[in-house]
Chains A and B, each alone.
Chain A
Amino acid sequence: MNFSVVGSQFFPLLINGLALGFIYVLVSVGYTMVYGVLRLINFANSEIFMLGTFATAIVSTSVFKFNQNSQPSHGMKLFIVLLCCLLASMATSGVVAVFVELIAYRRLRTKGANRLGSLISAIGTSITLSEGVRILTHSIPVASPRVLSKFYVFKIHGVGLRIDQLLTIASGLLLFIAVDRFVTKTRMGKAIRAVSMSEENSKLMGINLNRVISLTFLIGGLVTGAAAFMYMTVYEQTVFNVGFNIGLAAFTAAVLGGIGNLRGAFYGGLALGLAEEYFSALLGSQWKEITVFVVLVLVLLVKPNGLFGEAVQQTRV
């Protein structure tokens, strides 16, 4: 074990951990919101993320004709390209999420199927989507050309904050705050919270359950799509099974924070992002993925309701 690395690299690891953490936060929101209203783990959320990454890759290469040899963009064009990629990822993931609910879950729910049925449908949907993309891409990773030149926004004593990391952290924070405010302050958001507390009593308030569930999937998908865009600006490559590790990590983050609890997803995501970075510095990067599993098992063993699990009944979503 190399403790001195953690000491000397404390701040760079902190920045990497936060950037990764905010990607987890947003994907966790996708899991936790759906769990909040349906008590269902939407395993297809990892593929909703994966399709979002492909949307960014396709828009940057096909629409804006970037390739591996092109120069990064600047100024207004850079802004437009990034915005279009972001919107494409969000729209793709949002629409896919809504359709996944309509096709894979709604009928089971209205027919009164048990939760196990929905869970199997979730896993089936996940496999179908990732295998579909595997066939289309011949299992070959797709690189997203560098649109954004990765300069350091500032550098102090060798500790630098790269523009892509800054973008990820700032937009991740903003998006999370936006979702949190939407759910707590708006009329539709309150309906989502009401459904998460009681389906039956929500109907008695005149709430259209199907519409609220679609809305929940849409928001979860939009946010997961934004995370996919951020992932692409930082890592610049995607593959049909990219959602597996990210999805598992984000699910772990949601469980760590207390699944169904929006703010739990925030703290869980950041905690897991930071833990991954520090532990891989300490033990070697081959341990990075194992950290996720260890955290998941420990949470389930020690505090199955998660960090904010105590208050889950009160503050769901």
Chain B
Amino acid sequence: MRLEINDIHVYYGKIEAIKGISVVVNQGEIVTLIGANGAGKTTTLKTVSGLRKVSSGQIIFDGQDISNLPAHERVEIGISQVPEGRGIFPGMTVLENLEIGKYFRKNRASEMSEDLDRVFTLFPRLKERISQAGGTLSGGEQQMLAIGRALMARPKVLLLDEPSMGLAPMMIQNIFNIITEINKSGTTILLVEQNAQQALQRAHRAYILETGNVVKEAKASDLLNDPAVRAAYLGTGAEHAV
């Protein structure tokens, strides 16, 4: 698995949201994109999953240019996105939400139970709520469901958009522990986060985005100790840390 974002430009109407971003994600890594609101983190992720189109530049996945592949076909080759705000189907049960995560892999009943077991091992809470409507879950449970649903597709690379958003501190720890665990079991992760402290602690490498550009790329641990980065993205020390 190797994901290469190669000098992409993305427009919303006439506004250029991404002005030439290049990012590389290698097999087994957790790579994080951090930066302020409007820096282009979410747009970059959506461009990788195919929800946004590049106007120039390429997305290369395993040596193949997928820039023009429709979003639903990118899921099939191993790219799954957990959207910002979780994107749970509110009127569907927890089980239905998980099942639809495997939508494109039809007629594979044995795989289904295997993958459900895997998700329920990671998130025992979801098993307890299996027949509850997705919309009635708490924020943390919805995030678990969103991650579990993405895992059902057996992704090679998992794109996570703000998994900590709106969660209580305990739950944030919990979710990040599971993200680390998922990564250790072999899934590569591209993580977009406002919570830079957590993201840098968990990631191997990081890119800092500002107004549609990459302004810095480094090992996550180096950025964590970089005074300029601490001042700009981590507040005045431990305040924002969770």
Interface residues of A (CB under 8 A from B): 187, 190-191, 193-194, 197-198, 200-201, 203-209, 313-316
Residue ID in chain A nearest B71 by CB atoms: A203
In the complex, whether B72 has a CB less than 8 A from a CB of chain A is yes
Taking a contact as CB atoms closer than 8 A, the residue among B50, B71, B100, B133 that contacts A190 in the complex is B100
* Cα A297 to Cα B57 with chains together (Å): 53
B76→A206 contact, CB < 8 A: yes
A314→B51 contact, CB < 8 A: no
Name, among A190, A315, A316, the residue most crowded by chain B CB atoms within 10 Å (CB to CB): A190
A204→B80 contact, CB < 8 A: yes
Cβ distance A192 to chain B, nearest Cβ, rounded Å: 11
A206→B153 contact, CB < 8 A: yes
Tell me which residues across on chain A come within 8 A of B71, comparing CB atoms: 203-204
Q: A203-B71, A204-B75 are in contact. Are A187 and B91 (CB under 8 A)?
A: no
Tell me which residues across on chain B come within 8 A of A201, comparing CB atoms: 83, 87, 89
Tell me which residues across on chain B come within 8 A of A187, comparing CB atoms: 99, 103, 106
In the complex, whether B135 has a CB less than 8 A from a CB of chain A is yes
Cβ distance B155 to chain A, nearest Cβ, rounded Å: 11
Residue ID in chain A nearest B46 by CB atoms: A200
A190→B99 contact, CB < 8 A: yes
Residue ID in chain A nearest B99 by CB atoms: A190
Tell me which residues across on chain A come within 8 A of B150, comparing CB atoms: 204
In the complex, whether B178 has a CB less than 8 A from a CB of chain A is no
Taking a contact as CB atoms closer than 8 A, the residue among A190, A197, A198, A206 that contacts B72 in the complex is A206
Q: Enumerate B66-82 residues with CB–CB distance to A below 8 Å.
A: 70-73, 75-76, 80-81
B96→A190 contact, CB < 8 A: yes
B89→A198 contact, CB < 8 A: yes
Q: Which 9 A-B pairs have the closest CB atoms?
A: A206-B104, A206-B75, A201-B87, A203-B71, A314-B91, A197-B89, A205-B103, A206-B72, A206-B103
A197→B96 contact, CB < 8 A: no
Cβ distance A72 to chain B, nearest Cβ, rounded Å: 46
Cβ distance A181 to chain B, nearest Cβ, rounded Å: 14
Q: How large is the interface on B (under 10, 10 to 19, 20 to 34, 35 or more residues)?
A: 20 to 34
Tell me which residues across on chain A come within 8 A of B90, comparing CB atoms: 197, 313-314
B87→A204 contact, CB < 8 A: yes
B103→A314 contact, CB < 8 A: no
Q: Please name 16 pairs of A and B residues whose Cβ atoms are closer than 8 Å in the assembled complex, sorted by A.
A: A187-B99, A190-B103, A191-B103, A193-B92, A197-B92, A200-B51, A201-B83, A201-B87, A204-B75, A205-B103, A205-B104, A206-B75, A206-B76, A208-B70, A209-B72, A313-B135
In the complex, whether B43 has a CB less than 8 A from a CB of chain A is no
Tell me which residues across on chain A come within 8 A of B197, comparing CB atoms: none
A190→B75 contact, CB < 8 A: no
Tell me which residues across on chain A come within 8 A of B100, comparing CB atoms: 190-191, 194, 205, 207
Taking a contact as CB atoms closer than 8 A, the residue among A197, A203, A205, A208 that contacts B50 in the complex is A203
B72→A203 contact, CB < 8 A: yes
Scan B142-162; emit 1 where CB is below 8 A from any A CB, else 0: 000000011001000000000
Cβ distance B189 to chain A, nearest Cβ, rounded Å: 16
Name, among A200, A206, A313, the residue most crowded by chain B CB atoms within 10 Å (CB to CB): A206
Q: Enumerate B1-60 residues with CB–CB distance to A below 8 Å.
A: 49-51
Taking a contact as CB atoms closer than 8 A, the residue among A194, A204, A205, A208 that contacts B51 in the complex is A204
Cβ distance B185 to chain A, nearest Cβ, rounded Å: 22
Cβ distance B199 to chain A, nearest Cβ, rounded Å: 21
Q: Enumerate B83-105 residues with CB–CB distance to A below 8 Å.
A: 83, 87, 89-92, 96, 99-101, 103-104
Residue ID in chain A nearest B49 by CB atoms: A204
Tell me which residues across on chain A come within 8 A of B89, comparing CB atoms: 193-194, 197-198, 201
Tell me which residues across on chain B come within 8 A of A313, comparing CB atoms: 90-91, 135
* Cα A193 to Cα B97 with chains together (Å): 11
* Cα A207 to Cα B150 with chains together (Å): 13
Tell me which residues across on chain A come within 8 A of B135, comparing CB atoms: 313-314
* Cα A313 to Cα B136 with chains together (Å): 12
Cβ distance B163 to chain A, nearest Cβ, rounded Å: 15
Cβ distance A250 to chain B, nearest Cβ, rounded Å: 24
Name, among A201, A205, A208, A314, the residue most crowded by chain B CB atoms within 10 Å (CB to CB): A205
* Cα A80 to Cα B132 with chains together (Å): 46
* Cα A203 to Cα B80 with chains together (Å): 10
Cβ distance A308 to chain B, nearest Cβ, rounded Å: 12
Tell me which residues across on chain A come within 8 A of B101, comparing CB atoms: 205
* Cα A259 to Cα B103 with chains together (Å): 27
Tell me which residues across on chain A come within 8 A of B70, comparing CB atoms: 203, 208
Tell me which residues across on chain A come within 8 A of B96, comparing CB atoms: 190
B103→A197 contact, CB < 8 A: no
